Amino acid sequence: MKSRVKICGLTRTEDIDGAVAAGADAIGLVFYSPSPRAVTIEQATVLARRVPAFVSLVGLFVNPEPHEVEAVLERVPLDLLQFHGDESPEYCGSFGRRWIKAIRVRKPGQIEQAFEEYREGAGLLVDAWDPERYGGTGQSFNWQLIPERRPMPLILAGGLTSDNVSGAVEQVKPWAVDVSGGVEKGKGIKDIAKISEFIKEVHRVCKTD
Ligand SMILES: O=C(O)c1ccccc1N[C@@H]1O[C@H](COP(=O)(O)O)[C@@H](O)[C@H]1O
C-alpha cells in the first residue's frame, strides 16, 4: 500500500517549494499562536500560492474559536482542516469543510473509540501524548496500540524521522504519515535534504510492499 506524506509546520516559501519538489502530498500550516511554527493569515496567503494543484493544503488548529477558523477560511484556500486539540466531532464538522481529528495516544482502546466518535471525518491522525503540549513534540508512541481494523484512513504522526519512518510504515501501514520536527533544522525552518530523505524512505518501503 502507498502511504502519503504530509509535511507540516512550514513558514517559508522556499520550504514549500522544496517539499513539493521532493514529492510531498500535503503541506500543513499551523494556525496556533503558541507554536513556534505558527503563521499569520497574511503569511499563509503568500505561502498558499506556492502550493500547486493536486497537493493538499491543510490548516492545523488547536481549540480555536469559530471566528478564528472562519477568518482563515475567508483568505486561505485550505483543502482540509486538522484539529489537534479537544474539539468535538460536531465542532470539527461545523465549517462545511473536510476535516481530520488528531488524538494523542496513551492508552489501549483510545484509537478504537476515536474511530467511532470522529467517524464523519476524512481521517484520524494519531500522535504522541504529552502532558503539556498538543503536538509537534518530536515524541513517538507505542505503535502497537494502533488496531489493524480501521474504518477510516489513519494518519501516523509523532517523532517521525527519515531513520524511523520506513519501520513505521512497514509496521503500521498507515494511509499517510505526518512529520514536522523530524525534517527541521530549526523550529519552523525546514531542511530540504531531510524532507527529501524522509519522502524517499516512505516511497522505498511502499514499493517493496
Ligand atoms: O507543530 C506544532 O508546533 C504543533 C503544535 C500543536 C499541535 C500540533 C503540532 N504539530 C503536529 O504534531 C504532529 C507531530 O509532530 P512532530 O513530527 O512530532 O514534530 C504533526 O501532526 C504536526 O503537524
Examine the pLDDT at 209 and tell me if it is beyond 70. no
Question: Is there a contact between 18 and 50 (Cβ–Cβ < 8 Å)?
Answer: no
Cell 479537544, residue?
86
Please give the tally of structural domains in the chain: 1
Nearest C-alpha neighbor of 5 from the set 192, 143, 169, 140: 169
Distance 169 CA to ligand 1 centre (A): 18
**Structure confidence at residue 66 (pLDDT):** 98
Residues of the domain holding 33: 4-207
What is the rounded distance in angstroms from the CA atom of residue 48 to the CA atom of residue 33? 18
Active-site residue, selected from the candidate residues 8, 25, 92, 178: 8
Q: Is the pLDDT of residue 1 over 90?
A: no
Residue 116 CA, ligand 1 centroid: distance in Å: 23
200: left (phi over 0), alpha (psi -120 to 50) or beta: alpha
pLDDT in tens, 24-42: 999 999 999 999 999 999 9
- Specify the amino acid at residue 63: N
Q: Is the ipTM of this complex over 0.90?
A: yes
Q: What is the CATH number of the domain that holds 195?
A: 3.20.20.70
What would the pLDDT profile of 110-127 be if each residue is shown by its tens digit?
999 999 999 999 999 999
